[in-house]
Amino acid sequence: MKSKPYFLALSYRASALVALAGGLFAGATTAAGSGILWVANYNSNSLGNYSTTGAVNNASFATSGVSSPAGISYSPFNNEVYVVQFGSGNISEYNTNGTAVSTHLITGLGATNVEFLAVNGTNGDLYIPVVGSNAVKSYSPTGSLLSGSFITTGLSNPNGIAISPVTGNIFVANDAGGTTSDGYVAEYSPTGGLVNAALVSGLDDPTGLAFDPITGNLYVSNGDNISGTNTGVGAGFIGEYQVTGGGALTVNSHLITGLSQPWQIAYDPLSGNFDVPNYSGSSIAQYTPTGALANATLIGVGGVDGIAYIGPVPEPGTEAAIVAAGVLGMAFWRRGKRNAAAVE
């Protein structure tokens, strides 16, 4: 169990590609509060609102119920935002304008026992890893418990969680015993059945999981903060893996290095890049899917655990449908091109 929280692993299902299409289609009408980045700052005990280019809209715009905020997840199902309050163990729900819908939507999980969550974009269900119980619990969008043992097999100090936009399978990062290279990522079916108990293994303090919805590749952040013996400053890294029907092929286990406790990886559906907070550093940096540094200081703030994009989603219409089809075509072309190169 770490002394600091991790983050929510942002997840997208099929709606991720629709959100990307909306970003490319300049005329698309977006939902209220869309096209912004929510940031959970554990150190300052605040939830901030930033533009997708990093400009500050309001560094502390949602305040009700905030208690050492960690994981954040946006639900395209109901256009709401869910936040893990690490200090209290509660899950809070907010409108995209920062107004609290319920500061105690889900309770009883235990302070410092819950750090992340993922949202099923199809039905709005919430999946929450509970470290002390070695279980992933599932809840309805309104906070009703669906299953206290949705996933229990193959877990050991579960941390990050994400849903594949390609298969709908659920991926859980496990810190295991907290010793060097004993962390792993397990894969489960959409109904919680075990698919692969060690899809990726030999990890150092794995926390963040995120998918590139274009290629379907999985990105895993390693905090490298083993049992508190390493501050993690400059020692964190992110690996990229091609998920296949039979397991995972390593594209690059150290795609991005020199990070300072990168608890979260957030996919930006507007640029197609990934945003990475450096918790013990002083910035949120942005990288391309190939690991190239796009912006070393997208946002100049440290102490950040959770980040989530609220991307634009186009209104139904012919133009948006055409753009979405074009994006899907580009997605399959880019996916084949990058993955073929990765296994050459």
What pLDDT digit, counting tens, does each position of 306-327 carry?
A: 999 985 543 333 333 333 333 3
Q: What is the pLDDT of residue 330?
A: 41
pLDDT tens digit sequence for 84-142: 999 899 999 999 989 999 999 999 999 888 999 999 999 999 999 998 899 999 999 99
Domains along the chain with CATH numbers: 15-342 (2.120.10.30)
| Phi, psi of 318, rounded to the nearest 5 degrees | -65, -45
d(CA 132, CA 146): 19
Sheet bearing 247-259, strands edge to edge: 206-211, 218-222, 236-244, 247-259
More confident residue, 153 or 3: 153
d(CA 285, CA 295): 6
pLDDT tens digit sequence for 136-195: 999 999 999 999 999 999 999 998 999 999 999 999 999 887 666 789 999 999 999 999
Written as six digits, the tokens of 179 are 């010793």
**The whole model's pTM is what?**
0.81
Asked whether the beta carbons of 245 and 287 are under 8 A apart, the reply is no
In DSSP terms, which residues pair with 89 in a beta bridge?
A: none
Residue in this structure with the two tokens 């929450």, named with its chain if needed: 128
Q: What is the pLDDT of residue 124?
A: 96
d(CA 35, CA 287): 18
Q: What is the pLDDT of residue 247?
A: 87
Asked whether the beta carbons of 180 and 162 are under 8 A apart, the reply is no
pLDDT tens digit sequence for 40-90: 999 899 999 999 889 999 988 888 889 999 999 999 999 999 999 998 999
Q: What is the pLDDT of residue 281?
A: 86
